[in-house]
């Protein structure tokens, strides 16, 4: 199944399409106004794939780069320059496989979290295939879904094995399953998990992250009509990540990517799809 993608450099470098085999993989959100966003505005959830750097949650929400224009440097290559870093992204889709190569230049010791915040258009029968037992961090919104007293006081997350960390199931489903809307929303991070596959009927979408010497994870945003409180809707995010925490402010010594003495970090995201007949 050959994949093709499109992006919008003028509006945060956002991926607007990931299409192949007669289906669009990227979900489009209900929020208007994405094109009118200015730096420091509140996040506008328009769907697609947002580039999040140097944090996902926290300040600024979804990072600095989603709300700013990127400049074109060559065919398929865009650059964004900020006071503390420069990020270059080059995307190719030769052979039907989408490959995104990133290079971040910053002072040695600069700490950051990056995520490809991909919201996918999936059916209730879809599921996320990751190695059973992968250590998985539940984030605080999951506390209300656990028995009273289960959450460690003052801790930013609770860690347990995938696909049911802390024994958590929702409407009888483990976290790898995206069933009918149940009014819940939670975030999780699968640690040291650089490759996952999304299964939806006969279709398979594989996301793999390569980066030497940096922590690699896969983040999950599992919103089955539980967010936002005033106008909830369904959205499922599968997010290859450098780092191991949504919020850079929560990241311990081993939970963020760190720029080495060379002043650069390079990584590659590869996305492929196939259909089982």
pLDDT at 152 over 90: no
Per the CB < 8 A criterion, the answer to whether 218 and 243 are in contact is no
Q: How far apart are CA 1 and CA 22, in angstroms?
A: 9
Reported as a pLDDT band with limits 50, 70 and 90, residue 183 is: very high
CB 204 within 8 A of CB 196: no
Q: Of all residues in the chain, what percent carry a pLDDT higher than 70?
A: 100
Half-sphere exposure for 4 (CA within 13 Å, toward CB): 4
pLDDT score at 240: 98
Name the β-bridge partners of 241.
115, 217
Q: What Rg do the C-alpha atoms of the chain give, in angstroms?
A: 18
Tens digits of per-residue pLDDT, 28-59? Answer: 987 788 999 999 899 999 999 999 999 999 99
> How much is the pLDDT for 31?
77
Three-state secondary-structure class, residue 34: helix
Q: Is residue 95's pLDDT more than 90?
A: no
- Give the pLDDT of residue 212: 96
- Lookup result for tokens 């140097």: 54
Q: How far apart are CA 202 and CA 193, in angstroms?
A: 24
Which tens digits make up the pLDDT trace of 108-146?
A: 999 999 999 999 999 999 999 999 999 999 999 999 999
* Omega before 163 within 30 of 0, i.e. cis: yes
| Tokens read off for 222 | 């599992």
Q: Is the pLDDT of residue 153 over 90?
A: no
pTM summary value: 0.96
Task: Tell me the mean pLDDT in the region 183-193.
Answer: 97
Instruction: Determine the Cα–Cα distance for residues 161 and 166; give it in Å rounded to an integer.
Output: 7
Rounded to whole angstroms, the maximal C-alpha distance in the chain is 54
pLDDT at 277 over 80: no
Question: Which residues, 6+ apart, have CB-to-CB distance to 120 below 8 Å?
Answer: 25, 26, 27, 126, 198, 205, 236, 237, 238
The answer to whether residues 132 and 161 touch, using CB atoms and an 8 Å cutoff, is yes
The confidence score (pLDDT) of residue 40 equals 87
Residue 262 has pLDDT above 90, yes or no: yes
What is the spatial distance between Cα 17 and Cα 213, in angstroms, rounded to a whole number?
31
Q: Are 225 and 234 in contact (CB under 8 A)?
A: yes
Q: What is the chain's mean pLDDT, rounded?
A: 96
Kindly list the distances between the CA atom of residue 258 and the CA atoms of 69, 104, 144, 151, in Å, as whole numbers in the listed order: 25, 11, 33, 29
pLDDT band at 94 (very low <50, low <70, confident <90, very high): confident
Q: Are 129 and 196 in contact (CB under 8 A)?
A: yes
Higher pLDDT, 236 or 276: 236
**pLDDT of 204:** 97
What DSSP state is assigned to residue 12?
T
């Amino acid at each position: 199944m050959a994949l093709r993608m499109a992006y919008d450099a003028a509006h945060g470098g956002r991926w607007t399409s990931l299409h192949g085999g007669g289906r669009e993989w990227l979900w489009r959100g209900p929020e208007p106004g994405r094109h009118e966003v200015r730096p420091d505005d509140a996040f506008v959830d328009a769907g697609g794939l947002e580039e999040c750097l140097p944090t996902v949650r926290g300040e600024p929400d979804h990072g600095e780069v989603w709300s700013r224009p990127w400049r074109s440097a060559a065919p398929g290559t865009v650059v964004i320059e900020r006071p503390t870093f420069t990020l270059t992204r080059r995307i190719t889709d030769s052979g039907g496989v989408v490959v995104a190569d990133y290079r971040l230049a910053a002072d040695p010791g600069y700490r950051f979290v990056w995520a490809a915040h991909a919201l996918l258009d999936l059916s209730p029968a879809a599921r996320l295939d990751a190695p059973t037992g992968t250590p998985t961090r539940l984030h605080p919104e999951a506390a209300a879904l656990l028995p009273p007293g289960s959450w460690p006081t003052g801790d930013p997350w609770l860690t347990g094995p995938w696909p049911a960390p802390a024994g958590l199931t929702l409407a009888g489903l483990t976290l790898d399953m995206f069933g009918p809307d149940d009014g819940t929303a939670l975030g999780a991070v699968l640690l040291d998990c650089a490759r996952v596959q999304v299964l939806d009927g006969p279709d398979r979408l594989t996301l793999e992250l390569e980066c030497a010497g940096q922590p690699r994870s896969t983040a999950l945003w599992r919103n089955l009509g539980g967010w936002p409180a005033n106008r909830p809707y369904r959205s499922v995010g599968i997010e290859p990540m450098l780092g191991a925490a949504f919020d850079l402010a929560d990241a311990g010594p081993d939970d963020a990517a760190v720029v080495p003495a060379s002043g650069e970090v390079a990584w590659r995201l590869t996305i492929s799809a196939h259909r089982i007949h």
